[in-house]
Every structure is written in structure tokens, then in C-alpha cells.
Structure 1
Amino acid sequence: MIERDVLVGTKHGQMHAFAVCPDGGGPYPPVIFYMDAPGYREELKNMARRIARAGYYCLLPDLYYRLGTVRFDLHRRDESLSSVIRAARNTLTNAMIAEDTAGMLAFLDAQEEVKPGPVGCVGHCMSGRFIVTVAARFPERIAAAAAFYGVQIVTDQPDSPHLIADRIKGEVYLSFAEVDELVPANVVPDITAIFDKAGVRHDVEVVPGTHHGYCFAERAAYHAAASEAAWGKLFAMWKRRLK
């Protein structure tokens, strides 16, 4: 495996990111892994390594770069730390992430290990809204987008991702937990109806017996069987659309 800490140029400055791909045999299809609210950390880097082992060039950006170097110790998480995480999360907008994604695509296009053409992306929780946004904002590049227990995909705000979801040309996989207080009941039927009407190829599911965060092995909500099934669907979609 080849692992690098890299800097991605954006209109707002230099964004730190982790890049990983197999050693030799490339170039590899690119995947952007958008972090969740607790931010850039080793847990996500391990997930990026798993993506790379499956034959992809994975880029994990630190979306909080505008704030400097922000790292949270989740093993010491209490309400005070949670409030700081929420504050950091609330500094980001869908427009910011779309601008950052333009920089990430330019970065990927410049890497010799990266296969030219379609790009995949994946995110959890906070990044659900970012996944739908970038798939719609970059329909010619994002060919396979996935989000797990994504939040704020359907809102009453003018930048709500569902308002532009009909622009998506790639395939979308949205997996929601059965128990998730962060996802209102209308989200799944609303986004499904939009995809159906627009003819977007999609898999929108609610996974029985799961709670928010079910893919994270370091959390109490981890559901091993559901997580492995999700990884399987994710890799199958990327194989269809990227390889």
C-alpha cells in the first residue's frame, strides 16, 4: 500500500488529506471519502485503507481545514466535547464542500496513480448532505455516490440537497438506520420519490435492527452483519460504475 499525507489546493487554501492506494498495478479508480462530524481520525483512515485494498485510490480530506488542525478524542466524548463537535460541523455549508470538491477533483486528475474518468464518493452522517450535493453539482464526474445514515438530505433550507438531486446522473446508494433520531421520517420516501421521478439509478434502504452509526466498529451502535452487507453493496456499486 502507498500512503501519503497530501495537500489539496482549494479556493480557500490548502486542505490536508490522507491518500492511499495499492502499491503497483494501477492506475486505480478514485474515491473521495467525506468524513463525519467527529472529523479526521485514524478510524476513518483505516476505512480508507480498506477501500484502497479493494483496488481504489482513496482520498480522505480534512473538511475542517478552515479552522486549522482540529482533532477530537472520541473515547473521551461527553456533552462538552459533543457541543464543540457540533460547532465545528456547523461551520460547513454545502456550497463550501462543493467548492472543496472542485479542488479535490483537480488534485485527483493530477495523480499518476489515479485512473482518469468517473469518481466515486462515500460519506457517513454529516456527509450525507454533502454526498447528494456533490453528486448533483458534478454529474459528469461523480458516477457512484453512497451515504450511510446521512443527515440533512431533505430540509426546508434553500440549499437542501434534495432540491438538486434530480440532476444526478450517476448511481446513488443511501443506507439509513432503522432507529435514527437525526433522520426525520419523511426523508426516505421523499428522496426516493425524487430519484424515481428523475430516473436516477438508486438503492435507498432502511436496515432493520440498526442504529445511527452502525458501520463504525468503534461505536456502541456497530452492527457487524449490517456493516459488512453495506460494504458489499458499496463495493458492488463501485465495481459497476468505476472499474
Structure 2
Amino acid sequence: MDGDNISFDQIVSRRRALLGSAALGTTFALAAQPIQAQTMIVTPSDGLAAGTVQVKTKDGKEMMAYRAMPASGTGFGTILVVQEIFGVHAHIADICRRFAKVGYYAIAPDLYFRKGDATKVSDIQTLMKDFVSQTPDEQVMNDLDSTAAFAKGEGKADATKLGITGFCWGGRIAWLYDAHNPAIKAAVAWYGPLGYKPSANTPNNPPDVVKQLHGPVLGLYGGADPGIPQEQVEKMRAALKDSGNPAAAKSQIHVYPDAPHAFNADYRPSYRKEAAEDGWKRCLAWFKANGVT
């Protein structure tokens, strides 16, 4: 494709031609427009078992998730992939396939499903008001527990090699879930917010849970991200250092000085190729070094 932005319909057609017409992860979120075709990464599903699955939640509901793993073999390290605020759209599905291509079982649950289809919402303000703020952290923790149980139940993933990664909203969740689940070996948080205003649905921020971390966390942040000031990043560093928790002490934060928020989102203008590629290498190395492989 050429370097110009292309239409949403063209993106949809290209994705479906490559991946089929599964309901989840084949289109981009409307609120994430316009799509940057010249930098967008498309990971094909050849050699993979990839597509939509149904996860039974603790409250008895059916939650869709996008899952990708090698087409043959067993005992794969397991990565829970947590969505951006835009939901489980084509970029998040592609992240799952990228993990699968290097031998992981990766699964991204639709954590907003009780509120509707976030990918169909056309503005960020509505997403924040009707989806993000209305999705309790406790519910998210339970749904991720259900997703991990589903992965174990499929018989292909090794549940003792469990990691989590998340982007934007999901980056914050990666910190929190690491503190929630004792089975987590390691986490990678991509530009996850560190200073939400506390509420009934979001009572804690990552600095509040450092003493409860179970696996070491790699935080990847942009130095030019106005939504996550460097003062917050430094506060998080200090909290990790002073926690007295070995997992927190082993955790690391890496800042890309000139990178904005969402620097890994290759379909958006915020994408920064050098930072994204370096972050991906660090992510894979982190999981390997900490037993998620």
C-alpha cells in the first residue's frame, strides 16, 4: 500500500482477506480513526490457530476473546493481552498473533463486553464515560481470572508460565492484575496510566499495589506523553524501590524520551517505529527472563 491514509472500509477488506470474517479483532475501532496505512503492521495467521473464542465468566456470562497460538504443539507460555480503551480491535488481535508467531498462547478478552461493542463507538469521550469509567477494576480482575482458566482448560497453554501485557488502559490493568494473581510470573505495561482519580470502580493506582506485586513488571513509557507526566513515572519508580517487595524491586521502568502516548500503536499517528521495535524486543526478553516462555 502507498503512504497515504486509507479508508476504514479498505482496512476492513484487507483484514478479512487475510484473516477471515471472525467477529472480534478484524476491524479497527471507530474512535481510533484515521488509520495510518503506511506504518500499520499486519501479522498473518498462517501457521497459527487464531480467532474468536468464548470465555465463561465467573458471573456466568459469555465473553468473547481473541486467541492465537501455534497451530501445533502444546505447553506454550501464556500471555493475557489487555486492550486499549478502544476495545479488542484489529491492532490488539495482531498483537496476539505476534506473540503466537514466537511460540506463545496469547488471548485478549473483550473486557468491555457488558457495556456493548467499544469498537463501534466513534468518540473517545463516550468511551471514557460509558465504557472505561463504568468497568470496575474488580470485575476486570475476575474476567482475567476466567480468561486464564479458559487458557488452561484448552490444554495447549502451560498455566504455570503466565504473563500479562496491556496497552494504554490495559497497561494500568497489567500492573493491577500482577498484584491480584499469584500465578503471574511477569508483566509488561505499555504506557499504562499511573494516576487515575480514585473512584468506587477504580480505587487503586499502580503505585498503591507495589507491595502486592507477584511477578516483576516492565513499564514502557513515553517521555513526551502529556497524559502520564514524568513526575508520576518517577513516583512509580520510587514506590517500586521502597516497597520492600522482591518482585517490585526487580521491576523496571524504561522511558523513551521523545515518544508520545501509544507509541506502539502502528495504526495511529502516535506510532514511533524505533521505540515500538525496541519495546517489543524488551517485552519478549522480559517474559523469557522471568519464566514466561
Q: Which residue, out of 215, 236, 255, partners 1:206?
A: 255
Q: Distance in 2 between matches of 1:184 and 1:209?
A: 13
Q: Which residue, out of 105, 115, 126, partners 2:158?
A: 115
Partner in structure 1 of residue 83 of structure 2: 35
Query: Structure 2 matches for 1:90-105, cutoff 5 A?
Result: 90-105=133-148
Partner SS state of residue 228, structure 2: coil
Are the aligned partners of 1:135 and 1:168 in contact in 2 as well (CA < 8 Å)? yes
Partner in structure 2 of residue 141 of structure 1: 183
**Letter paired with 2:163:** G
Partner in structure 2 of residue 178 of structure 1: 223
Partner in structure 2 of residue 187 of structure 1: 232
How far residue 156 of structure 1 moved from its aligned partner, in angstroms, is: 5.6
Are the aligned partners of 2:109 and 2:144 in contact in 1 as well (CA < 8 Å)? no
**TM superposition score normalised by structure 2:** 0.76
Which runs of no fewer than 5 residues in structure 2 stay unpaired? 1-47
Q: Distance in 2 between matches of 1:69 and 1:211?
A: 27
Q: Distance in 2 between matches of 1:203 and 1:161?
A: 13
Q: What is the number of residues matched between the two proteins? A: 235
Say if 1:38 and 1:156 are closer, same or farther in 2 by CA, change over 3 A: closer
Partner in structure 1 of residue 28 of structure 2: none
Partner SS state of residue 210, structure 1: coil
Q: Distance in 1 between matches of 2:161 and 2:195?
A: 26
Query: Structure 2 matches for 1:209-224, cutoff 5 A?
Result: 209-224=258-273
- What do residues 142-183 of structure 1 show as CA deviations (whole Å, max 9, x unaligned)? 1111111111x2446242232122111212110111111211
Q: Which residue, out of 41, 45, 56, partners 1:9?
A: 56
Are the aligned partners of 2:183 and 2:214 in contact in 1 as well (CA < 8 Å)? no
Percent identity reads 23
**Letter paired with 2:71:** D
Q: Which residue, out of 26, 30, 34, partners 2:74?
A: 26
How far residue 45 of structure 1 moved from its aligned partner, in angstroms, is: 0.8
**TM superposition score normalised by structure 1:** 0.91
Point out the structure with max Rg over C-alpha.
2
Are the aligned partners of 1:2 and 1:23 in contact in 2 as well (CA < 8 Å)? yes
Partner in structure 2 of residue 131 of structure 1: 174
The structure that is strand-richer by fraction is 1
Partner in structure 2 of residue 52 of structure 1: 100
Partner in structure 1 of residue 128 of structure 2: 86
